[in-house]
Amino acid sequence: MLQPGRRGLGFAVGQEPLPAVFAKYGCQILATDLDFESAQEKGWVDSKQHADSIDLLNNKGICDPVLFKEKVSLGTLDMNHIPDDIGTFDFIWSSCALEHLGSIKNGKEFIYNSMKCLKPGGVAVHTTEYNVTSNIITLDSYVKRVNNVIFRRKDFEKIANRLQSEGHEIYLSFKLGNTPADKYVDVPPYKMNPHLKLKIGSRLNPVACTSYGLIIRKNSD
């Protein structure tokens, strides 16, 4: 997908470098994020995880500035309410955003709804948090004072079953690896040196989580 002529749509891009990377390869990119007021209310502005200026998306100098301005545009979008007139793209992505949509259900609905933004044969890539401890107990909207949720294996399986029933292509793997780094679970205060898994949750119901990626190809019909 990373070649001139391709169009990409990014959700909740914050200040991530991906729009600049894709533009460097010649892709036309629409990068989207929450409106400033909503992002400020959720704390994304103070934590410098909100894109209120397009220049922030190329602050690492990854893409030539002239090419970047030609290839990248910035818009506002709520992932829980994708507009019908946004158009279609060759690829779409979200990076660690599904867990901040209010509930596991909302995260699933976003994935299903965002498929309308893809051209036939287009590719969606989403990353989020994965609970490797339990397929039952997890963090979700029913837990008070929780600002993010953690998906379980059964949640990903439900997503895959729904997408496959609609003719889309998706494969799941739950292999966790066997190296010392794979087996190590970091605990607070996190050392970040780096870690692949970390312990979160309450003292009574702790869970270990890692990152999980979903790659989906839309049916060509």
> For 161-179, what is each residue's pLDDT tens digit?
999 999 999 999 999 999 9
What pLDDT was estimated at residue 46?
53
For residues 87, 103, 171, 1, the Cα torsion angle rounded to the nearest 10 degrees is 30
What pLDDT was estimated at residue 63?
97
pTM, whole model, 2 decimals? 0.90
What pLDDT was estimated at residue 202?
73
DSSP 8-state class, residue 125: E
How many separate domains does the chain show? Answer: 1
Angle of CA points 113, 221, 5, to nearest 5°? 75
What pLDDT was estimated at residue 36?
55
d(CA 105, CA 80): 11
- Assess if residue 139 is contained within a domain: no
> How many other C-beta atoms lie within 10 A of the C-beta of residue 61?
10
The distance in angstroms from the start CA to the end CA of the chain is 19
Low-confidence ranges of the chain (pLDDT < 50): 39, 44-45
- Assess if residue 192 is contained within a domain: no
What pLDDT was estimated at residue 197?
94
Based on the number of CB atoms within 10 Å of its own CB, is 102 exposed (0-12), middle (13-18) or buried (19 or more)?
A: middle
What pLDDT was estimated at residue 204?
75
Q: Could you give the 3-state DSSP secondary structure of residue 107?
A: helix
- Assess if residue 199 is contained within a domain: no
Residue with the two structure tokens 């839309």? 218
What pLDDT was estimated at residue 203?
76
- Indicate which CATH number applies to the domain containing 28: 3.40.50.150
Host domain of residue 18:
7-134+152-174+211-217
- Assess if residue 202 is contained within a domain: no
